[in-house]
Chain A
Amino acid sequence: MLTAENRARWRLAGLLSPATLIIGLFFVVPLAIMALYSLLEPGMYGGVEWTFYPDNFGRILGWADGSNEEFDVVYLQILLRSFKLAAITVLLTLLVCYPAAFWVSRQPERLRNFCLFLITLPFFTSLIVRLYAWVLILRPTGFLNASLQGLGLIDAPLDLIYTEGAVLLGMTYIFVPFMFLPIYASVEKLDRRLLEASADLGAGRWQSFWRVIFPLTLPGIAAGSIIVFIPSLGNFIVPSLLGGARVLMIGNLVEQQFLAARNWPFGAALAMLIMAAVLLFLLLYVRWQGRAALKEAAR
């Protein structure tokens, strides 16, 4: 006989199972395969040999003694460089989006909706096509150099493509919408009366910004930063197309392992490390949010 409590429990399990199944199938199972592969020996023609092989991680982190694999500091350098690029991308998109979000939020409704539409417009075309458009703009005979030369502002074409600047431009361009939307959400919610109150209480512009506006929009900034940081860490299309692939990013390295080097386990180990790093960041964010919520509740 089912008691009422038991029945409720079964119903809950029934309702949760589709979601659990989807997460299990599309997230946990592939992740488990990758975790397993990262600890196996690479097969001769791709694939794996079913022997335990800790040297994939050892090659990156230092305990490979050279008998099978050899430690090379180069992998940590690549990881660090990818982190740096992701961090700079976050800063640049933030710099663009924060003031823009304030401006948009003050426009009349129709213009505001139009602006939001414009921000999401790039999603309608393929990323690679949009980046290739940047190649056409930035190359020596491209649109930008031709225009500047036509206006008589420069004599010889500027070196724009295949530079670090081009990579940063491309990264910022791609990730602006991801940063803008969460910031906009928190800016729009901002109660203007709080600003009047802070002015009434004698706060200057800076003081109002740092003590009222900034803390209230911080959740949007944090969410935007995470949404931008994670995909930019693995991005290698921008450094390849606009940077000329002169420097290797962690994403390129993973691709190289799975294809040209035919070393699936090492590729899996690298991917696991990136994932661990991202998880660490997410964990910090969740804890920070939890603490903020506690503080809120204590008030």
Chain B
Amino acid sequence: MPAPYHRNALRHLARGALAVSALLASAAGQAAEELHLYNWGDYINPQVLSRFTEQTGIKVSLDTYGSNEEMLAKLQAGASGYDIVFPSVHMQDSMAALGLLEKTSIDRSPAFANIDPSFLRAKSDPKGEYCMPYAWGTVGIFYNKTKVSKPIESWADFFAEAKAGKKVIMLDDMRETLGVGLIVNGKSVDSTDLADIKQAESWLLERKPLVSAFTYESVPMVQSGDVAAAHYFVGAMMYVKQDPEHLAYVIPKEGATLYQEDMCVLKSAPNKANAKRFMEFFLQPEIAALNTEQQMNGTPNKEALKLLPAELRDNPEVNPGPEVMAKLQIFHDLGKDLKKYDRAWTRVRTAN
């Protein structure tokens, strides 16, 4: 999952302005063919959208959300008019259980062969009859090279810098941050065993005095060197690319979480045919590559991967080799057991 968008003040304003202009645009051209996307903030290359409109004449509007839960809550509250959403895999399973997703049969499209079948991770959709794998990435450590004593390779290094008086920050995210506690102790990030969760909780509590903040506002703080290192998404690579001398992103040795979002059509979608056209458009390797190049994350499209510039394709922090891949874990929906995480997280956040 990319960094939640709504927490960033300035982007929030920009988003407001965009929404207004989109509204005006849609009011102007009622008759034209339309497609309405509801995606994470900053999670699609705008060029992909403009190219789609050029080729098909279909007008695309884009609304954004900051978390899976925000998106689901809006849809449950009756938000309509959206055609395509981009849930994380575990949220896709929840949405399938709630009957919100449309069967698209996208797996029958010839270009679906471009998709690496190992990315068909949703339990509710093992063949890809509903949704199409969109993008993936890791959650690791984003740091400022000038502020640390040696390159950070692991969570142990991260907290060693903190012990030496450097400022470090972690995500304000219940499952991601407790997930670090589970990973370093060799447990599954989906564990529902209270003993495991308790262990992760006390591991975090021991280190809480070393953590300056729990936040998503990490990028500017690391860029300026106000913070030496931050628990952050691979999307930080966008900034590393601009300033590779000072910045770096690393997948910690202990392991990390992996996220993947899929492109799904809603049952309530008003423009289902256009939505399918967009999915097929996105299956083209050049288009998927155009997106990934700007996003600096992973693509499930095998053919697109070949088209990427070598420094991205062969970057072990973005497209790691098989032994690192084996250490990555993806979240699954926990149902009622989510409660255990909520309690542990509340206790971590309440301790002084």
Residues of A near any B CB (own CB < 8 A): 44-47, 70, 72, 74-75, 77-78, 126, 128-129, 131-132, 135, 139-142, 161-162, 240-241, 243-248, 252-253, 256-263
User: From B208, which residue of chain A is reached at the shortest CB distance?
Assistant: A246
In this complex, the member of B9, B10, B215 whose beta carbon has the largest number of chain A beta carbons within 10 angstroms is B9
CB distance A263 to B339 under 8 Å?
yes
CB distance B350 to A44 under 8 Å?
no
Residues of B near any A CB (own CB < 8 A): 9-10, 12-13, 67, 69-70, 72-73, 76, 94, 97-98, 167, 169, 172-175, 208, 211-215, 217, 221, 224-226, 335-336, 338-339, 341-343, 345-347, 349-350, 352
Minimum C-beta distance from A62 to chain B (A): 16
CB distance B226 to A139 under 8 Å?
yes
User: From B7, which residue of chain A is reached at the shortest CB distance?
Assistant: A240
CB distance A46 to B9 under 8 Å?
no
Minimum C-beta distance from A263 to chain B (A): 7
CB distance B349 to A244 under 8 Å?
no
With A45-B98, A47-B76, A139-B226 known to touch, is A261 a contact of B214 (CB < 8 Å)?
Answer: no
Q: How far is the CA of A197 from the CA of B177 in the complex (A)?
A: 66
With A132-B9, A162-B212, A240-B215 known to touch, is A261 a contact of B349 (CB < 8 Å)?
Answer: no
Q: How far is the CA of A126 from the CA of B76 in the complex (A)?
A: 28
CB distance B214 to A256 under 8 Å?
no
CB distance B224 to A260 under 8 Å?
no
CB distance B94 to A247 under 8 Å?
no
Minimum C-beta distance from A211 to chain B (A): 43
User: From A69, which residue of chain B is reached at the shortest CB distance?
Assistant: B339
With A78-B350, A262-B338 known to touch, is A129 a contact of B73 (CB < 8 Å)?
Answer: no
Total number of A-B contacts with CB less than 8 angstroms?
Answer: 103
Minimum C-beta distance from A32 to chain B (A): 17
Minimum C-beta distance from B320 to chain A (A): 28
User: From B347, which residue of chain A is reached at the shortest CB distance?
Assistant: A74
Minimum C-beta distance from B13 to chain A (A): 7
Which A residues touch B173, using CB under 8 A? 260
Minimum C-beta distance from A38 to chain B (A): 17
With A45-B72, A140-B226 known to touch, is A247 a contact of B349 (CB < 8 Å)?
Answer: yes
Q: How far is the CA of A241 from the CA of B217 in the complex (A)?
A: 8
Minimum C-beta distance from B344 to chain A (A): 11
Minimum C-beta distance from B312 to chain A (A): 30
Which A residues touch B217, using CB under 8 A? 135, 241
Minimum C-beta distance from A153 to chain B (A): 20
Q: How far is the CA of A45 from the CA of B338 in the complex (A)?
A: 10
Which B residues touch A162, using CB under 8 A? 212-213
Which A residues touch B69, using CB under 8 A? 46, 258-260, 262
In this complex, the member of A45, A139, A247 whose beta carbon has the largest number of chain B beta carbons within 10 angstroms is A45
CB distance A245 to B213 under 8 Å?
yes
Q: How far is the CA of A252 from the CA of B215 in the complex (A)?
A: 13
Identify which of A132, A140, A248, A257 contacts B350 (C-beta below 8 A). A248
Which A residues touch B208, using CB under 8 A? 246
With A139-B226, A246-B214, A260-B342 known to touch, is A77 a contact of B350 (CB < 8 Å)?
Answer: yes
Minimum C-beta distance from B168 to chain A (A): 11
Q: How far is the CA of A12 from the CA of B128 in the complex (A)?
A: 64
Q: How far is the CA of A258 from the CA of B338 in the complex (A)?
A: 13
Which B residues touch A247, using CB under 8 A? 349-350, 352
Q: How far is the CA of A244 from the CA of B173 in the complex (A)?
A: 13
CB distance A244 to B347 under 8 Å?
no
Identify which of A45, A75, A141 contacts B97 (C-beta below 8 A). A45
Which A residues touch B70, using CB under 8 A? 259
User: From A44, which residue of chain B is reached at the shortest CB distance?
Assistant: B335
CB distance A246 to B213 under 8 Å?
yes
Which B residues touch A261, using CB under 8 A? 174, 338-339, 341-342
Q: How far is the CA of A245 from the CA of B167 in the complex (A)?
A: 15
Minimum C-beta distance from A244 to chain B (A): 3
Q: How far is the CA of A162 from the CA of B94 in the complex (A)?
A: 36
Which A residues touch B175, using CB under 8 A? 260
What are 26 inter-chain pairs, A to B, with CB distance below 8 A?
A: A44-B335, A45-B98, A46-B69, A74-B350, A78-B350, A126-B9, A131-B9, A132-B10, A139-B221, A139-B226, A140-B167, A140-B226, A241-B217, A244-B169, A245-B172, A246-B211, A246-B213, A248-B350, A252-B349, A253-B346, A259-B73, A260-B173, A260-B342, A261-B174, A261-B342, A263-B339
User: From A264, which residue of chain B is reached at the shortest CB distance?
Assistant: B73
User: From A266, which residue of chain B is reached at the shortest CB distance?
Assistant: B342
* Given A126-B13, A142-B226, A261-B341, 8 further pairs, Cβ under 8 A: A129-B13, A139-B224, A139-B226, A141-B224, A161-B226, A258-B73, A259-B69, A262-B69
Q: How far is the CA of A74 from the CA of B213 in the complex (A)?
A: 20
CB distance B211 to A256 under 8 Å?
no
Minimum C-beta distance from B294 to chain A (A): 26
Minimum C-beta distance from B350 to chain A (A): 5
Q: How far is the CA of A8 from the CA of B12 in the complex (A)?
A: 52
Q: How far is the CA of A162 from the CA of B214 in the complex (A)?
A: 10
CB distance A44 to B336 under 8 Å?
yes
CB distance A128 to B339 under 8 Å?
no
Minimum C-beta distance from B143 to chain A (A): 15
With A77-B350, A247-B349, A256-B345 known to touch, is A46 a contact of B72 (CB < 8 Å)?
Answer: yes
Which B residues touch A253, using CB under 8 A? 346
Minimum C-beta distance from A137 to chain B (A): 12
Which B residues touch A244, using CB under 8 A? 169, 212-215
Q: How far is the CA of A128 from the CA of B336 in the complex (A)?
A: 34
Minimum C-beta distance from A88 to chain B (A): 16
Q: How far is the CA of A12 from the CA of B172 in the complex (A)?
A: 53
